[in-house]
Chains A and B, each alone.
Chain A
């Protein structure tokens, strides 16, 4: 390995460790803070519906921020793409806080997440040579030069992943596990294509998610809430745009996008969960969950998985993980088709 590559590996490792350790170590404090402030919710998929602290997403945001600062300190420079990525993540997190405190309507929340793409636009306006957008790479086709169409679709590049990750965050550990696979699916192609900016963004998010995961696994000690899920989704969208891995990003987020698409198609629009009359799943005794077989029940990914029969929550989460693993494989295959033409 030459010294430049050695340097990158060391930097990457340090950034990951900074992000992971800050997220992991901050989580007990976030739990205490949430309990004190009454930021708690019921775990509706368990017997007795225990009360669980929410706002765990604050720990994820802290992890990303500390990882970013660690990168700046180690490399003694400010990477514009990393600033844009961190800003998108924090902006979506702030929208999540607002949603948590004020309970926004579904459509308004989706509209607000569009604003989270503002750092990308500002970054492109101020540093067009560093923030390159409008040139996505497609498998078999190669690099496209899109102008009007890309700008028209750009607001969706953050809003869709942010809301899709938010919608899948329904069972213990599902959001961090599926997101970790999605980030890995962006990390490996970024390394192969030598897009080091995207590699560092992935490591920041991966560290923060892995620090949060032990606290969110079954039985959850803390929930990410909208703060975490919107921030993570926006972060994944920002990596896909800034790393010019848009199509890989779509494939990497397939379980999340499938879930969101099924909900939108079966419910008929963007509704807040309290506005949906029927639940997609029903809780049987002994922490066993079954699909709601009613015609009016929303068709979520959980409903689809459970349409084969009831499962215990940890087994259901394993099924989500398996689907994410398959989408990870498909995303890698997509990246290969981008290289081999």
Chain B
């Protein structure tokens, strides 16, 4: 039970990160992969791939950012609780 008390909010972060990862995969597959620029030829194809890569990369970075911020918030909250608890 002690281990559960110490891990429950880390598990919440874990579930959040996991859920966002699945959501990200669905968005990439449903939206990003189907993006098409109205430019024909090799240049259009290259620009299209670059755009998909940039949007995919931005979404991935946002995911990492949310993950990090959620962890920092969780740690601060836990440190506060530790300070309030019996020493």
Contacts and interface: CB of A to CB of B under 8 A. Distances in A.
Nearest to A247: B25
B43 interface: no
Contact of B7 (A140, A261, A305, A337): A305
What class of interface size applies to chain B in its complex with A? Answer: 20 to 34
Interface in B1-35: 2-7, 10-11, 14-15, 17-18, 21-22, 25-26, 29
A interface secondary structure, majority: helix
A305 to B, nearest CB: 5
Contacts of A309: 6, 81-82, 85
Interface string A321-335: 111001100100010
Contacts of B21: 250-251
B11 A140 contact: no
B5 A308 contact: yes
B75 A299 contact: yes
A139 B28 CA distance: 12
B78 A140 contact: no
Contact of B18 (A299, A311, A330): A330
A27 B80 CA distance: 44
Interface in A262-301: 262, 265, 291, 293, 299, 301
Interface of B: 2-7, 10-11, 14-15, 17-18, 21-22, 25-26, 29, 64, 67-68, 71-72, 74-75, 78-79, 81-82, 85
22 contacts: A138-B25, A139-B22, A140-B26, A140-B29, A247-B25, A250-B21, A261-B68, A291-B82, A299-B72, A304-B78, A307-B79, A308-B82, A309-B6, A309-B82, A315-B6, A319-B3, A322-B7, A323-B14, A326-B11, A326-B14, A334-B22, A337-B22
Given A309-B81, A309-B82, A326-B11, 6 more contacts: A141-B29, A254-B18, A307-B79, A308-B82, A311-B6, A318-B2
